């Protein structure tokens, strides 16, 4: 994703581009191989820097996100990341800081985002002809705030009878994500930014997020701004998907709403994403590690490949990014290249090879 918040782009076509790679687990390794294959087909010389996270890191450093891996992520600045299996009930992770203090995070994914100061998770979703049926017109980008909200990670038990969680919303993070969304809309010819919230119930937290949104909206008179309750937004996206353009929301609503949009487009396997901060960026599919289909060569690699296209654009290679996106659309228009989640017969690499072939054709896809 490009934005004024992005790290400086290095657009020299001949220079080798260093990119971190987290192979993940579950379907991670197979879709990583597919995405690397397609990105290399663009002709951009890429040096992949493997960064051990989770099991691999544990074997070497007895920690799923050791300081060594965080340092590598910071140094390389731009990383392609496959999904990691999230332990549903015991995901908490503690990371040692350079000053010797410790930070505790609710999950490994959350820890990566927060250690790198990544603050927004843009998730673009477009309908695909022949796949998305009545949602072909879908073309929205959800800008999910990723540093706070109910995923902030402060939960406690009250004996065995209850548990509570803190929903943290700050003015600083709310203004920052709203500004990112409006900057993006203005720079990309998007007509409208919609804020999703539940400020009628959560007057203080979502109320603050909404007030910050309108404050920033006033700085962008050429971009239309409106807001919707999250429940109403779920209703409207089913009834009139074309109503949505750029959407900005607190962490949890963004997590859920973007999966809903991906489902309407046809599969979680079609939904790319980025995590952007002032110094670093991590590009990853919106879906999880899909352990139910892992290791079978069945996974749809499109979401990670499209995340790779976002990464190319972020690095200043817009022409190559366009070629990859067009190639994905053109390949998936061919029913024989669709993976099982899209009702097709293709395996992960077969689909990737079909995409890479189109990337290599003169004029891209
Ligand atoms: P998480 O909590 O990490 O998001 P999850 O199990 O809730 O994990 P996913 O791993 O995204 O969610 O999987 C949800 C469903 O979507 C599973 O049935 C999975 O097989 C399917 N799925 C997810 N990603 C893909 C993909 N790339 N290709 C095919 N099917 C996928």
Q: Is residue 287 within 6 Å of ligand 1 at its C-beta? A: yes
pLDDT confidence of residue 306: 98
End-to-end CA distance of the chain: 20
Q: Is residue 299 within 6 Å of ligand 1 at its C-beta? A: yes
Q: Is residue 256 within 6 Å of ligand 1 at its C-beta? A: no
The CATH-assigned architecture of domain 132-265 is: 3-Layer(aba) Sandwich (3.40)
Q: Whose CA is nearest to atom 3 of ligand 1?
A: 288
* Ligand 1 atom index nearest CA of 293: 20
Q: For the packed helices 67-76 and 108-115, what is the interaxial angle rounded to 10 degrees?
A: 50
Say how many Å lie between the CA of residue 164 and the centre of ligand 1: 28
Q: How many other CB atoms are found less than 10 A from the CB of residue 206?
A: 26
Say how many Å lie between the CA of residue 219 and the centre of ligand 1: 39
Burial class of 192 by CB neighbour count within 10 A (0 to 12, 13 to 18, 19+): middle
pLDDT confidence of residue 8: 45
pTM of the model: 0.92
Say how many Å lie between the CA of residue 11 and the centre of ligand 1: 34
Please state, in angstroms and rounded to a whole number, the distance separating the CA atoms of residues 328 and 42.
Answer: 13
Please state, in angstroms and rounded to a whole number, the distance separating the CA atoms of residues 134 and 39.
Answer: 31
Q: Is residue 263 within 6 Å of ligand 1 at its C-beta? A: no
Please state, in angstroms and rounded to a whole number, the distance separating the CA atoms of residues 217 and 223.
Answer: 8
Beta bridge mates, 224: 192
Q: Is residue 269 within 6 Å of ligand 1 at its C-beta? A: yes
Q: Whose CA is nearest to atom 20 of ligand 1?
A: 290
Q: Is residue 233 within 6 Å of ligand 1 at its C-beta? A: no
pLDDT confidence of residue 91: 65
8-state DSSP, 6: S
Please state, in angstroms and rounded to a whole number, the distance separating the CA atoms of residues 175 and 208.
Answer: 10
Please state, in angstroms and rounded to a whole number, the distance separating the CA atoms of residues 77 and 116.
Answer: 9
Please state, in angstroms and rounded to a whole number, the distance separating the CA atoms of residues 331 and 311.
Answer: 20
Q: Domain coordinates of the chain in residue numbers? A: 1-118+275-365, 132-265
- Here the tokens at position 38 are 């397609």
Ordered mean pLDDT values, 10 residues apiece, the chain (365 residues): 47 78 96 98 96 89 91 97 77 83 87 95 95 95 96 91 96 98 97 98 98 98 98 97 97 96 93 97 95 96 98 96 97 96 97 98 61
What is the per-residue DSSP string for 212-251? Answer: HHHHHHTT-TTSEEEEEEHHHHHHHHHH-GGG-SEEEE-H
Report which of 91, 185, 106 is spatially closest to residue 153, judged by C-alpha positions: 106
Nearest-5° Cα angle at 147, 50 to 200: 145
- Here the tokens at position 320 are 């190559």
24 vs 86, 121, 237, 269, 310, CA distance in Å? Answer: 11, 18, 31, 16, 19
Phi, psi of 278 (to 5 degrees): -65, -30
What is the per-residue DSSP string for 197-209? Answer: E-TTT-TTHHHHH
Say how many Å lie between the CA of residue 242 and the centre of ligand 1: 25
pLDDT confidence of residue 107: 86
Burial class of 47 by CB neighbour count within 10 A (0 to 12, 13 to 18, 19+): exposed
Q: Whose CA is nearest to atom 1 of ligand 1?
A: 288
Question: Mapping DSSP to helix (H, G, I), strand (E, B) and coil, where does residue 10 land?
Answer: coil
Contacts of 40 (CB under 8 A, 6+ apart): 46
Provide CATH code, domain 1-118+275-365: 3.40.718.10
Question: Mapping DSSP to helix (H, G, I), strand (E, B) and coil, where does residue 336 land?
Answer: helix
Length of the chain in terms of residues written = 365
Q: Whose CA is nearest to atom 31 of ligand 1?
A: 269
Q: Is residue 290 within 6 Å of ligand 1 at its C-beta? A: yes
Please state, in angstroms and rounded to a whole number, the distance separating the CA atoms of residues 267 and 269.
Answer: 5
């Amino acid at each position: 994703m490009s934005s004024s918040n992005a790290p400086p782009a290095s657009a020299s076509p001949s220079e080798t581009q260093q990119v971190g790679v987290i192979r993940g687990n579950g379907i991670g390794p197979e879709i990583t191989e597919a995405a690397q294959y397609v990105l290399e087909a663009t002709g951009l010389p890429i040096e992949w820097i493997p960064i051990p996270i989770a099991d691999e890191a544990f074997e070497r450093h007895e920690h799923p996100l050791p300081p060594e891996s965080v340092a590598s992520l910071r140094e390389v600045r731009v990383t392609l990341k496959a999904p990691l299996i999230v332990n549903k009930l015991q995901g908490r992770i503690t990371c040692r800081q350079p000053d010797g203090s410790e930070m505790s995070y609710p999950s490994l994914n959350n820890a990566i985002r927060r250690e790198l100061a990544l603050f927004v998770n843009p998730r673009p979703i477009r309908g695909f002809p022949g796949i998305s049926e009545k949602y072909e017109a879908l073309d929205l980008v959800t800008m999910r705030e990723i540093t706070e909200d109910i995923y902030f990670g402060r939960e406690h038990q009250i004996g065995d009878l209850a548990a509570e969680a803190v929903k943290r919303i700050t003015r600083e993070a709310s203004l920052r994500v709203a500004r990112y969304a409006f900057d993006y809309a203005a720079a990309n010819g998007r007509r409208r930014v919609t804020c999703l919230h539940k400020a009628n119930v959560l007057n203080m937290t979502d109320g603050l997020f909404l007030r910050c949104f309108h404050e920033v909206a006033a700085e962008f008179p050429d971009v239309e701004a409106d807001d919707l309750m999250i429940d109403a937004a779920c209703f409207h996206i089913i009834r009139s998907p074309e109503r949505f353009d750029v959407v900005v929301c607190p962490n949890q609503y963004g997590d859920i709403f973007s999966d809903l949009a991906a489902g309407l487009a046809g599969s979680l396997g079609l939904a790319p994403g980025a995590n952007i901060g002032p110094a670093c960026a991590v590009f990853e599919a919106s879906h999880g590690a899909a352990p139910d289909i892992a290791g079978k060569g069945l996974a749809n690699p499109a979401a990670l490949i499209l995340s790779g296209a976002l990464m190319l654009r972020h690095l200043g290679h817009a022409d190559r990014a366009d070629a990859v996106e067009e190639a994905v659309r053109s390949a998936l228009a061919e029913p024989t290249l669709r993976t099982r989640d899209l009702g097709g017969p293709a395996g992960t690499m077969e689909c990737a090879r079909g995409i890479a072939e189109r990337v290599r054709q003169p004029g891209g896809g």
